[in-house]
Amino acid sequence: MESSQVHDNPLVQRYAGKEMVALWSPISRYSKWRKLWVALAQSQFELGLLAEDGSTPRISQLQIQQLELNISNIDFQRVEEHEQRLRHDVMAHIHTYGECCPAARDIIHLGATSCFVTDNTDLILMKQGLTLLQKSLVGLLDLMAKFSRKYAALETLGFTHFQPAQLTTVGKRACLWAQDFLMDFHEVSYRIENMKFRGAKGTTGTQASFLSLFKGDHQKVRDLDILVSKKMGFDKIFPVTGQTYPRKADSQIIEALSGIGQSAQKFGTDIRLLSHRQEIDEPFESDQVGSSAMAYKRNPMRSERMCGLSRFLIHLAGNTAETAAVQWLERTLDDSVNRRLTLPQAFLCADAILRLAINIARGLIVNPEIIKSEVERTLPFMATENLLMAAVAMGGDRQNLHEVIRKHSHAVIAELKSGSRKNDLLERLKKEPEFSKVDFEKVMTDGKFSGRATEQVEEFLTSEVDPILKANHAWTDQNAAIKF
């Protein structure tokens, strides 16, 4: 028996938030096409576009009003019927729009090429999508800043190569996560501030059709480009284009989204590692099931999901890079299907990732007793450098002292690997004559084994993060429930 269900998009059905899903929906996209046609007609009217007789206005206020009233009145079934016949999506929408605006039918898309609506709409969608992501990044930074301050002084074992290294603090480690997302915030903000509009450029970017409409008046053609762009919310315009705006712009924007994926995968991977060590757990709900077979399990499924989505997003950037690289002359159509898939998926995926990151950051569970026991178990090894320097200051031979420490350390490590839970390295060293003059208690008390980690937390947050949170206060204190 065949299922009546069709494949759905998990990013829409399970992962992305309602605002981002709505932004990339058909009604959102195609109503923007119509808004662009309205903006074009308005601008041509305002610039005094004349009919062929040279004296009669080519466009009337009545026609523009009819277009405005029907922006959201889209008959998608009728669009599909036209496209089946015409095999051209833009023409299908022009015909459908014209049918509900009969008085304005002949001025829709006047002088424009398909990319006037398709390209400009993509730029609008991406700019609005970047703003949604920008808001989420502020919310995430707010949560990470609060977490970092709360645990700024809680010493924990630091790792290099996932091997015990020196102590850091839980708050300092969280600042590493926050710093990555802070870089993403600045990159996304830069992309928003510097986005350019394609504007009204014509078939190959020469504006020849508009120059013809305005009877060779170059200034009016320049003004048309500016006026349409401003009406659609853009102050910056690509000075030159082919039929399309430079696909390099897509690549740069999706690379910024890829950066969010990179940061999130690092964050999620660290949480998964710390969850394995039982030091920090992601949120786990009272009725949540970790495994269908092993009832005791508390899998870090949010972090795992975030890492999986991040991997998908990171690789989407390669699509936009290659599309930018293979454009032929003024344009080629092989970019179209790829962009239909890649651009919405990238924004939906980035939104889903940040929602997960916010959800995880808001509910992180720190287990101080386990962290403390791990510190106590490994701290003697980390104290050996301080002990060595203290012994040298008392007249000891540095190389001999190093050898004593090496032998005892390896012996203790062997015993720990054999099941011993006690690290007796300090007791062993106290018995060695080379360390007889060293005040072990003073060395351990004065050691400051986590260095300036606690101070670095406040310095970083005060100088780098707090100004962003203050400037965007309305976007802080966000919550993001996950669907499944």
| Global pTM exceeds 0.85 | yes
* Greater pLDDT, 93 or 374: 93
Span 408-465, pLDDT tens digits: 999 999 998 898 878 999 999 999 999 999 999 999 888 789 999 999 999 999 999 9
With bands split at pLDDT 50, 70 and 90, how would you rate the model's confidence at 290?
A: low
What is the C-alpha to C-alpha distance for residues 259 and 184, in angstroms, rounded to an integer? 6
Span 335-349, average pLDDT: 95
Range name among 18-32, 62-76, 259-273, 417-431 with the lowest pLDDT average: 417-431
User: Which H or E element spans position 169?
Assistant: strand 163-169
User: Which H or E element spans position 281?
Assistant: strand 280-281
Q: Could you give the percent of the chain with pLDDT greater than 70?
A: 96
CA distances from 258 to 266, 345, 405 (A): 12, 12, 46
Burial of 422 (0-12, 13-18, 19+ CB in 10 A): exposed
Q: Could you give the percent of the chain with pLDDT greater than 90?
A: 84
Tokens of 199: 């504007």
Range name among 182-186, 241-245, 440-444, 447-451 with the lowest pLDDT average: 447-451
CB of 251 closer than 8 Å to CB of 317: yes
Q: 13-107 has which CATH code?
A: 1.10.275.10
Span 362-374, average pLDDT: 95
Q: Which of 35, 149, 142, 184 is nearest to 97 (CA)?
A: 35
Span 23-33, average pLDDT: 97
Q: Does pLDDT of 81 surpass 90?
A: yes
Return the number of other C-beta atoms located less than 10 Å from residue 410's C-beta. 10
With bands split at pLDDT 50, 70 and 90, how would you rate the model's confidence at 173?
A: very high
User: Which H or E element spans position 211?
Assistant: helix 208-213
What is the C-alpha to C-alpha distance for residues 186 and 312, in angstroms, rounded to an integer? 22
* Greater pLDDT, 8 or 354: 354
Q: Answer yes or no: CATH 1.10.40.30 is held by domain 370-446.
A: yes
pLDDT at 114: 96
Which residues have C-beta within 8 Å of that of residue 89, sequence separation ≥ 6?
83
The DSSP secondary-structure symbol of 432 reads S
Cα 255 off chain centre by: 9
Whether 13-107 shares its CATH topology with 370-446 is answered no
pLDDT at 222: 98
The dihedral through the CA atoms of 313, 318, 320, 323 has a sign that is negative
Burial of 276 (0-12, 13-18, 19+ CB in 10 A): exposed
The dihedral through the CA atoms of 450, 452, 455, 457 has a sign that is negative
Q: Does pLDDT of 297 surpass 60?
A: no
Query: Where are the chain's structural domains?
Result: 13-107, 370-446
Span 240-249, average pLDDT: 96
* Greater pLDDT, 299 or 227: 227
With bands split at pLDDT 50, 70 and 90, how would you rate the model's confidence at 1?
A: very low
Q: Does pLDDT of 203 surpass 80?
A: yes
With bands split at pLDDT 50, 70 and 90, how would you rate the model's confidence at 480?
A: confident
User: Which amino acid type is present at position 377?
Assistant: R
CA distances from 29 to 35, 86, 344, 372, 473 (A): 10, 20, 11, 54, 30
Round the average pLDDT of the chain to a whole number and report it: 93
How far the first Cα of the chain sits from its last, in Å, is: 28
Q: Which of 110, 137, 132 is nearest to 49 (CA)?
A: 110
Q: Does pLDDT of 294 surpass 70?
A: no
CB of 178 closer than 8 Å to CB of 152: no
Report, as residue numbers or ranges, the catalytic residues: 161, 291
CA angle at residue 297 from 145 to 423, to 5 degrees? 70
Span 90-95, average pLDDT: 97
Span 293-314, average pLDDT: 85
With bands split at pLDDT 50, 70 and 90, how would you rate the model's confidence at 295?
A: very low
User: Which H or E element spans position 149?
Assistant: helix 114-150
